[in-house]
Copies of this chain bind each other. A is one copy, B any other.
Amino acid sequence: MKTFKLKTLALAAALPAALVAGPAIAHDHAAKAAPAMPAATYAPITEAEVLAAQQAWGNALVAIATEYDTKGFAAAKKLAEQVVDGAYGYQMGPVLFKPTLAAAPQTFRTDREGAIAYFVGGNDRYKGDTGFAIKGWRAFEIDNAGILLKGNSATSMGNVTVIDAKGNRTTVDKTWGYVRGPDGKLRIVLHHSSLPYKAG
């Protein structure tokens, strides 16, 4: 983001220097970076934010898997709840989430419970879910085919590869859509993941 310099120093000087405790998106005579303050909810989403959110998702997946392997199901579930609340937008309304391995009639997980069930399983209402996030993942790679920035939302599409402790790799086709949450941080409100198509 470029900022701009003013001409009228008199006016700038008249304003208290610390007043613009604002996000990078809004500039002012006496603008100073205020790194502690999150972006305003209306600030346009940047590519850097999308890339950071993708990394956060991958790190969270590995963290849940590691938690499960070292501390067990309860700890992993608790972490998964925190991840879902922090990374997804279920607290803002429904989320469009089609997990890789979910099937009808529970293909789409538009509510929080369905997302957590998918990640860690152990929910009688989602008997098909064995817990995707607790399959021993230790690393990930993200290869974007493209990212679209649309102002107050953004979308990415590409391949995500998750890697377990033995080095086994699973690659999926993945779309993520983001908006800003009330705290200025990105939240996933769209997630479509699918196994690659194999001809015949």
A5-45 at interface with B (beta carbon < 8 Å)? 5-17, 19-29, 31, 37, 40-45
Q: In angstroms, how far is the closest chain B Cβ from the Cβ of A48?
A: 6
User: In the complex, which residues of chain B have a beta carbon less than 8 angstroms from the beta carbon of A8?
Assistant: 143, 159
Q: How far is the CA of A23 from the CA of B89 in the complex (A)?
A: 12
In the complex, which of the residues B16, B100, B106 contacts A111, with contact meaning CB atoms closer than 8 Å? B16
Which chain B residues border A94 with CB–CB below 8 Å? 3-4, 6, 19-20, 22, 26-28, 31, 146, 148
Cα–Cα distance between A146 and B92 once the two chains are bound (Å): 14
Instruction: Please indicate the chain B residues that have their CB under 8 angstroms from the CB of A173 in the complex.
Output: 98, 107-108, 192, 194
Give the docked Cα–Cα distance between A167 and B28 (Å): 28
Beta-carbon contacts of A36-79 to B below 8 Å, as 1s and 0s? 01001111111110010000000000000000000000000000
User: Once the chains bind, are A149 and B44 in contact (CB under 8 Å)?
Assistant: yes
Residues from chain B with Cβ under 8 Å of A22 in the complex: 47, 92-94
* A190 contacts chain B at the CB level, 8 A cutoff: yes
A 167-193 to B, binary, CB cutoff 8 A, 1 in contact else 0:
000000101010111111000011010
Instruction: Please pick, from B3, B40, B110, B151, the residue contacting A6 in the complex, using a CB distance under 8 A.
Output: B110
Besides A104-B159, A177-B190, 4 more A-B contacts (Cβ < 8 Å) are A4-B51, A16-B111, A29-B110, A44-B44
Using CB atoms and an 8 Å cutoff, list the residues of chain A in contact with chain B.
Answer: 1-17, 19-29, 31, 37, 40-48, 51, 89, 92-94, 96, 98, 100-108, 110-111, 113-114, 125, 128, 141-153, 155-159, 173, 175, 177, 179-184, 189-190, 192, 194-199
